[in-house]
Amino acid sequence: MKLLDSRRVFVVFNYLFLGALALLCLFPLVHTLALSFSASAAADAGRVTIWPVQFTTAAYEYAFTNPQFLRSFGTSIERVVLGVTVNMVLTILVAYPLSKAPGVLRGRTAYVWFFVITMLFAAGLVPTYMVVQATGLLDSIWALILPKAVPVFNVILLLNFFRSLPKELEEAAFVDGAGHWTVLLRIYLPLSKPALATITLFTIVAHWNSWFDGIIYMNSPEHYPLQSYLQTLVVQDSLSVRSLNEMDLLQEVSNRTYKAAQIFLAALPVLAVYPFLQRYFIKGINLGSVKG
């Protein structure tokens, strides 16, 4: 009976503790959301916790009339669409040959090392910047896409998945006279939907969330994707010079509610794909542990 009691105490404590932990992860985001919908006076007086005080959408209206915000949002979407397409096409095209045995793809070992070395050794920021500059990509959206166009880690995930597919399917197709392109497009890709969906989702999030490359490769802030623009807004705010017009608007919308609104808007797409992400997430982990 004694033991049972201490067990019960533990269970109660455990639920409380884990509940608090979950709150700790959620609270800062909910607080930001509440702030973004609050009147600026209430926000500046520190009266907002998890619920908007004097509900208003002024901060959002301001964000949506800010041309820089809209432009950056557009750039981010363009980046995700182009970047994910390029990443996925190249991931598939590299993973398929490398999933073959060395006897089928001559020089497979050399090819594999060629790609894996890039995971082990990175040249560093300055030489990479120089190459992007030398290939004329500065200030172009391709600067955000081409340098990371082959995500080697994803290639390895996918090639491990390809290897786990039954060899017989492929052999039957070859007997019927199919070539590698047909096998890849008609057999491998349809069978790899779960793996492809996982990698695509993670690639979407990665492109959406990237901001540092935007900062360094874009000379003019008009070309910043959303997260790079947000970084200047959040971090370098004190340094930035605002136009008078902007100052006028900002009197109604406090700097804090305005920032909160934009932070939340930038997080929104990730929150929207989150239900799908988490469905594939556990699968993704299992995928990652599959050994060839």
Partner 1 sequence: MTESPAEAGEQVATPPRRRKRRTNARALHLMLVPGILVVLVYEYGPILGTVMAFQDYLPAFGFLNSEWVGLENFRFVLSLPDTWEVVWNTVSIASMKIVAGLIAPLATALLINEVGKKYFRRGVQTIIYLPHFLSWVILGGVLIEILSPTFGIVNQFLGLFGVEPIYFLGDNSWFPATLVGSDTWKEFGFTTVVYLAAIVTIDPTLYEVASVDGAGKLRQAWHITLPGMMPVIVLMATLSLGNVLNAGFEQVLVLYSPQVYDSGDIIDTFVYRMGLIDFQYSAAAAVGLFKSMVALVLISTSYYLAYRFAKYRIF
Q: Which is nearer to partner 1, 36 or 244 (CB)?
A: 36
**Shortest CB 193 distance to partner 1, Å:** 20
**Alpha carbon distance 230, 223 (integer Å):** 13
Q: Which is nearer to partner 1, 32 or 192 (CB)?
A: 32
Q: Which is nearer to partner 1, 126 or 244 (CB)?
A: 126
**Shortest CB 244 distance to partner 1, Å:** 25
**Shortest CB 120 distance to partner 1, Å:** 5
**Shortest CB 167 distance to partner 1, Å:** 10
Q: Which is nearer to partner 1, 181 or 245 (CB)?
A: 181
Q: Which is nearer to partner 1, 63 or 94 (CB)?
A: 94
What tokens does 116 get? 């894996």
Establish how many alpha carbons lie within 13 A of residue 144's alpha carbon, considering only the half-sphere containing its beta carbon. 32
Q: Which is nearer to partner 1, 54 or 118 (CB)?
A: 118
Length of the chain: 292
Q: Which residue has the tokens 């920021």?
A: 125
**Shortest CB 90 distance to partner 1, Å:** 5
**Shortest CB 284 distance to partner 1, Å:** 10
Establish how many alpha carbons lie within 13 A of residue 227's alpha carbon, considering only the half-sphere containing its beta carbon. 20
**Shortest CB 117 distance to partner 1, Å:** 8
**Shortest CB 146 distance to partner 1, Å:** 6
Q: Show the 3-state SS of the chain.
A: CHHHHHHHHHHHHHHHHHHHHHHHHHHHHHHHHHHHCCCHHHHHCCCCCCCCCCCCCHHHHHHHHCHHHHHHHHHHHHHHHHHHHHHHHHHHHHHHHHCCCCCCCCCHHHHHHHHHHHHHCCCCHHHHHHHHHHCCCCCCHHHHCHHHCCCHHHHHHHHHHHHCCCHHHHHHHHHCCCCHHHHHHHHHHHHCHHHHHHHHHHHHHHHHHCCHHHHHHCCCHHHCCHHHHHHHHHCCHHHCCCCHHHHHHHHHCCHHHHHHHHHHHHHHHHHHHHHHHHHHHHHHHHHHHCCC
Q: Which is nearer to partner 1, 71 or 100 (CB)?
A: 100
Q: Which is nearer to partner 1, 141 or 156 (CB)?
A: 156
